[in-house]
Structure 1
């Protein structure tokens, strides 16, 4: 049993971590941290619980610790980070210097040359960047990142299509309000509305996707050469990011061949990994957030509406943004770290 902790455990993603870790067969939750204001309180006192299942009883009574390496027990083997990136960029290096392995959902350092940005089913070999990272940074710990919630929705489908050669990708997103955190978008802003801009989101999709699809040569990742452009929009759904993707390919596959490529997407023999990775729908009006965000327990990507265009293939894809797109992605990376012997 691997003893784990959660950095930033009281927030929306931290709560998802706790939900997903409940009854996990291989991970034992041993520590939860939050801000100094919450340190010393029980988790039930510190967290305004908003997840759709009850707080596990053993977690409710846990004492919240300050987010400091000196406050986390030495026998914790793996930390999951859901800290705001502005906090994580200061705090995570302290834990890494102290020798902890950190699987982080925070956006800082995702594009750093020596930090693995990983989707286990897509690029598990990128974990070997940890060796480069330790050599360059001189720490005993290891830092692994998962991508942005909108990026992780699209990239599994692109990886499947890369057998046909990807030249250009255009994506327009319809993103749920939970992606902004509980207080990120006010009800007066989003009800009866759509917001055609999410700060920084386009750049994350355009860069992270190319790093994830890139080739690792043992020393560095050579990013994929495709051009990626994104337009990101907030809509009044609670969970589930829906994306409309246009892919220009070297080859001209049939619609049936695209569906076959999606169905052939690899999975991983890990507890949290879905099988299949991509659930396909042939109906032109699927997937839909309310109907399909929980495919694969919220860990799969749903794809459908495939059709030819003058320049290539158009389709829709969807994933649960706080499960597959955040806590579940970090949890799966943690399982891969254990499986590959990094923990």
Structure 2
């Protein structure tokens, strides 16, 4: 299956390219970037490019849109460019996107394969309503992805309320997102728009399909987002009020959570591991960056608290989107 990566020279785009090296289902046909990179070999622009793609010539976005010539698109473009581009492509081609442009459309899923695979059912709603042959599937904000993987096993205990404080890596801000002097020796307790995304995307992901759209989960999600001087790996302190369950029950739910392992997806890794003290430097690369580490589990009354950490560029971005595409192929949507 021929695929293209849009925004291939950015931080998330480079992660897409690295994860697609040697992929058994998807063959990278086109790497798309800005006009200033177009016409140059990918390895000349991205020095640490996988050998497989070093000689592949970069295509400009305008040239690509004239003749995509692929079966599937991974999008790592900025949100400001993505809405019109994604809609144009989705008329004929499935689009799996890291951009937020369509996350909040009622007929577009925010997909985390282990958490809400049934939300792929919205693909048929999109096709019918919009007259598309393709479709758009989004993945969530990076901190939301890590959080919802940890919350999914807790649904059986009746989630009543979620509070979370994030400690987010600087790579989540992109190559030029933060001046070095701003974050060095510092914690920045504000990331524009981040808390709203966590609070609203989580409820959509953990909700259910009803009447051709997602009915958000009924519980409150409240977030404080901070930026910390860590390169990769978002860490989150989570406080969850549950209707029932013990520490032993919750830990067992974490450790046994593996809903898609039987499907044989090429990129699939066990989504959760339990470790006493999760830390980004030690655990962000577990499962090639797709495994989330959870620990520090304690209980006070009906409130359970724990710490979770996951790789923001893999589980929280490109790797999550790649899993979305693999699941869509496996379930027959492509």
TM, length-normalised to structure 1: 0.93
Give distance in 2, aligned partners of 1:88 and 1:311: 42
Whether contact under 8 Å (2:42, 2:57) holds in the other structure is yes
- 1:297 is matched with 288
Say whether 1:57 aligns with 2:51: yes
Q: Which sections of structure 1, spanning at least 5 residues, go unmatched?
A: none
Q: What residue is the counterpart of 2:330 in the other structure?
A: 339
Q: CA deviation at 1:46?
A: 3.3
Corresponding residue to 1:171 among 157, 160, 164: 164
1:237 lines up with 2:254 in the alignment: no
SS of residue paired to 1:233: strand
Does structure 2 retain, via aligned residues, the 8 Å contact 1:65–1:72?
Answer: no
Cα distance between partner residues in 1 of 2:148 and 2:120: 17
2:8 corresponds to 1:9: yes
Equivalent position to 2:269, from 265, 271, 274: 274
Residue of 101, 105, 108 corresponding to 1:108: 101
Q: Is the 8 A contact 1:31 1:72 kept in 2?
A: no
SS of the residue corresponding to residue 253 of structure 2 reads: helix
Q: Distance in 2 between matches of 1:273 and 1:207?
A: 26
1:194-205 matches, within 5 Å, as 194-205=187-198
Compute the displacement of 1:264 (Å).
Answer: 2.3
Of the candidates 228, 251, 259, which is equivalent to residue 259 of structure 1? Answer: 251
Unaligned runs of 5+ in 2: none
Paired residues, number: 330
The more displaced of 131-140 and 193-202 is: 131-140
Alpha-carbon distance between aligned partners in 1 of 2:66 and 2:11, rounded to the nearest angstrom: 22
Give the alignment's TM-score, normalised by structure 2.
Answer: 0.95
C-alpha deviation, 1:85, in angstroms: 0.5
* 8 Å CA contact retained: 1:304, 1:317: yes
Correspondence for 1:137: 130
Could you give the per-residue CA deviations for residues 198-218 of structure 1, whole angstroms, max 9, x where no partner exists? 011100100000111111246
* Equivalent pair of 2:243/2:302 in contact (CA under 8 Å): no
1:28 matched to which residue of 2?
27
Query: Given that residues 151 and 209 in structure 1 are in contact (C-alpha distance below 8 angstroms), is that contact kept between their aligned partners in structure 2?
Result: yes
Moved more, 19-28 or 240-249: 19-28
Equivalent residues in 2 for 1:139-218, closer than 5 Å: 139-217=132-210
Q: How far 1:57 sits from its partner (Å)?
A: 2.4
User: Is the 2:18–2:49 Cα contact (8 Å) retained in structure 1?
Assistant: yes
User: C-alpha offsets along residues 8-62 of structure 1, whole Å, 9 cap, x if unaligned?
Assistant: 1010001001110111111111111012222222212334x4xxxx412231111
Deviation at 1:289, TM superposition (A): 0.7
State the Cα distance separating 1:249 from its structure 2 match: 1.2
Deviation at 1:311, TM superposition (A): 4.5
Could you tell me which residue of structure 1 aligns to residue 73 of structure 2? Answer: 79
Q: 1:338 to 1:218 in 2, by over 3 A?
A: farther
Superimposed CA distance per residue, residues 110-149 of structure 1 (whole angstroms, 9 cap, x where no aligned partner): 1110001111111111111011111222222110001110
DSSP 3-state at the match of 1:160: helix
Equivalent residue of 1:29, what SS? strand
The two structures, once aligned, show a CA RMSD in angstroms of: 1.4
